[in-house]
Amino acid sequence: LAPLADLAKQRGVQVYHLNIGQPDIPSPPEFFEGLRRYQEQVVAYEPSRGNLALCKSWSRSMNRSLQLETDQNHFVITAGASEAILFSIMAVTDPGDEILVFDPSYANYLGFAAMAGITLVGIPTTIQSGFALPSIDEIATRITPRTKAVLVCSPNNPTGTLMKRAEMERLLELARSRGLFIISDEAYREFVYDGATPVSFLHLEPRNPALIITDSLSKRYSLCGARIGTVISVHDEVRAAVQRMASARLAVSSIEQVAAAYMLDTIPADFLSKALQEYQQRRDLLVRGLEAIPGSIVVRPQGAFYTIVELPVRSGDEFAEFMLREFDLNGRTTFVAPGSGFHVAAGGGKRQVRVAYVLALDELRGALETLAAGVEAFQRKYGA
């Protein structure tokens, strides 16, 4: 759809981007100060495992803010969470193996699965039940001899839901009894609202070798373009497998690693709390705006900065395209991501779209107004 958005812009239409999780919060001054402090004469390779100061800062930062006891030696730095998830998948599978995910889930997991030559098995959750996880028995029916891991993300992209602690415990128990890994994508870990406390799978069992945590600075610190992520695992063989892939690609960009290490050591705790306050206001505005669309189904997001909404349209794909191709309200339109793209199983999320609330309140207000008018226009043209 991105080319359609470009065409709309060429026609002079202003496009509100609710389609992508690119935060608009300024990156921390401490990161830019860290950049200025990079004074090497030669921009040389960092160790393939990652800059050691960054491993240390990241571990300390998690331990401080989450009351954990991670060990810097269990960190491998990666090019964003993307590479962390890809390496984690490849570390625990052979081509032809299977990994369980809960539909809807992050669209790019499919891309990583394709690169690893494995199959994602999508276990459906429904908007009507607030995207709650199915029972452990139901999950267990999807396990085959080729199943190697469950890949989870809480707070969730795309639904904005949080996994309950009891759900996490049951998943851990299932992993133990069936010999599976849990790959926990914690890129949004700190993005929890209404006074909730961030929960890592490491809080449950900090030394469980079945746990592979993937993390990223992208969302938490508005540093998507820095491409700094990590794999955390106490499992020596998993880490060795990740390290082999890290060695093959030599290293992650040096300058951002040095800057990120400085940032994690110096950033005030209120950077995140201020950002969260802002996102929570946006969340509240978004939910009100979406609920005001007659016939919509809205699940109030508790975390991250996304939600999946069901709209009174026959197809989320067609609607998203319609918004870019032919609709505008006073020269403006809203770009949303079709819900179908977040489903492994065919036919899921048909009347749904994903919305990222990464715009300032005024912009978001305009985006919602335009979206509501678009739904009406689409219904007039194609029926509800």
Nearer to a copy of itself, 64 or 249 (CB): 249
Nearer to a copy of itself, 6 or 291 (CB): 6
Asked if 203 and 69 touch (Cβ cutoff 8 Å), the reply is: no
Question: At its nearest, how many Å lie between a copy of itself and the CB of residue 52?
Answer: 12
Nearer to a copy of itself, 103 or 256 (CB): 256
Question: At its nearest, how many Å lie between a copy of itself and the CB of residue 117?
Answer: 5
Question: At its nearest, how many Å lie between a copy of itself and the CB of residue 345?
Answer: 19
Per the structure block, which two tokens stand in for 149?
A: 């891991």
Question: At its nearest, how many Å lie between a copy of itself and the CB of residue 98?
Answer: 15
Short-list 88, 101, 106, 99, CA closest to 160: 106
Nearer to a copy of itself, 18 or 133 (CB): 18
Look-up of token digits 């991250």: 304
How many Cβ atoms sit within 10 Å of the Cβ of residue 63?
14
Question: At its nearest, how many Å lie between a copy of itself and the CB of residue 5?
Answer: 12
Nearer to a copy of itself, 101 or 293 (CB): 101
Question: At its nearest, how many Å lie between a copy of itself and the CB of residue 116?
Answer: 8
Nearer to a copy of itself, 216 or 302 (CB): 216
Nearer to a copy of itself, 80 or 316 (CB): 80
Per the structure block, which two tokens stand in for 76?
A: 């491998």
Asked if 157 and 163 touch (Cβ cutoff 8 Å), the reply is: no
Nearer to a copy of itself, 254 or 266 (CB): 254
Short-list 159, 203, 134, CA closest to 303: 159
How many Cβ atoms sit within 10 Å of the Cβ of residue 43?
10
Return residues touching a copy of itself (CB under 8 A). Answer: 20, 22-27, 31, 35, 38, 40-46, 79-80, 82-83, 86, 90, 95, 108, 110-112, 114-115, 117, 222-227, 244-245, 247-256
DSSP 181-207: EEEEE-TTTT-B-TTPPP--HHHH-TT
Nearer to a copy of itself, 250 or 345 (CB): 250
Nearer to a copy of itself, 110 or 143 (CB): 110
The beta-carbon contacts of 4-9 under 8 Å, at least 24 apart in sequence, are 4/321, 4/324, 4/325, 5/324, 5/335, 7/324, 7/325, 8/324, 8/325, 8/328, 8/333
Question: At its nearest, how many Å lie between a copy of itself and the CB of residue 312?
Answer: 31
Phi-psi region of 194 (alpha: psi -120 to 50; beta: other; left: phi over 0): left
Contacts (Cβ under 8 Å, ≥6 apart) of 9: 15
Burial class (CB in 10 A: 0-12, 13-18, 19+), 10: exposed
Question: At its nearest, how many Å lie between a copy of itself and the CB of residue 198?
Answer: 23
Beta pairing class for 14-17 and 75-78: unpaired
Per the structure block, which two tokens stand in for 221?
A: 């610190």
Question: At its nearest, how many Å lie between a copy of itself and the CB of residue 122?
Answer: 17
The β-bridge partners of 182 are: 150, 211
The secondary structure of 312-351, three-state, reads CCCCHHHHHHHHHHCCCECCEEEECEEHHHHCCCCCCCCC
Question: At its nearest, how many Å lie between a copy of itself and the CB of residue 351?
Answer: 25
